[in-house]
Chains A and B, each alone.
Chain A
């Protein structure tokens, strides 16, 4: 299938916070209460539309356990967006955010858009982390924030799509060098013939061209 851009995402966060379930809800629109333990990295992909343009999200779902970090780190490089997930019913998963964030920032491009996600918002009765705490953390570290529920699908679409919108805006503003794949963005196959030689460093031009149709 053709697309204008491909954005590479990673999903990170402690084990058991619901990373794979978020991905499954986003790509398959279903919830699987017992999901296989992720070993290493698994994948998902979905096409979305922003400003009438097809964008393929390629999502790398990483294993949460620390022992896998040596391998998951190598995946940070070349990601345009990251979903950093914690579980609102487990305080420790919130406490570990700083470590995850440091890790992500250290191993990724400085332009990577990071969305902080407090998952399992359907379990209000077992909440250990207040929404305000999440918001404060996000503000302090310059992240976008959202609470989601992979079970009820609340905010799941929004989380993935808002991240994409932010990346898209950065492309339009010329912040991302889209010809460097290490940034996690790739021009789609439909781009090259349509924009005739826009392979150069002019992302804004080519996106303007697409916008007028």
Chain B
């Protein structure tokens, strides 16, 4: 096992390195100094405590969607619906926040549970369709994304209309926000919020479920070999639905950390990109929960640093996205990197 994990880490690091080199070449082509560019990019993400806080706050929803995708993938399902699940999770949390006037200690847990229910519900439908009618989850989760998009489009103006703008909900009260004064102060006024702690807890719980529990054993068995799981008497169809619901609940939580943590209201007409970036985080993280967390934080640095890079140099911020995309390409073609590692190992061995 140890060797395998190490290999995954190698692959991740090599993908990142190759992506950075590709980015450097791009910067050089656009007539900029890559070293300068990278130094501003990383300084933008990590230069002071506030920026570190923002990096972590940006990474938080990504950790959830990455976990969601990785968990579904480990159990044989391809969840492309993290965006929609995030939206619905965010909507449910916002709805609770704007509707109930109850003390913070009760309100926050209620919002969190509502977000999980919303995301879970949104993934339950594709799960059911897959289990019952063998509808491929890629198709149904993408469709659910758009159903979520239009549901928000309708329900936010109808029920939670903002004070000045039709296109967003009212702002939640500070009592209903996952932001906490002590945290904001600690990080010099950054967007960091309780969502980060939730994310760490979720990472640990998912790692435990996958590796140490009967549930994880069953879900993975169904993912690796559906027929083998059936032969062994497992309820494969139930497990498909359960996997999707867990994955959806994770994305729903991600939605909560974004809409009632990072932000304080929900906009219409936006499908959050973190849903798709989660696929990247899951891939780069080698589908390992801890790997997903590391990958998400790394992407967080890029997202919060690219603006600074753009401000300080003439490098367009899109370079940051391009580098991320390149890294994903390398991570997705990790089999090539794996082969290269094997060849190198063999050569080293042969020469000794």
Do A and B form a real pair? no
Binding site for B on A (CB under 8 A): none
Binding site for A on B (CB under 8 A): none
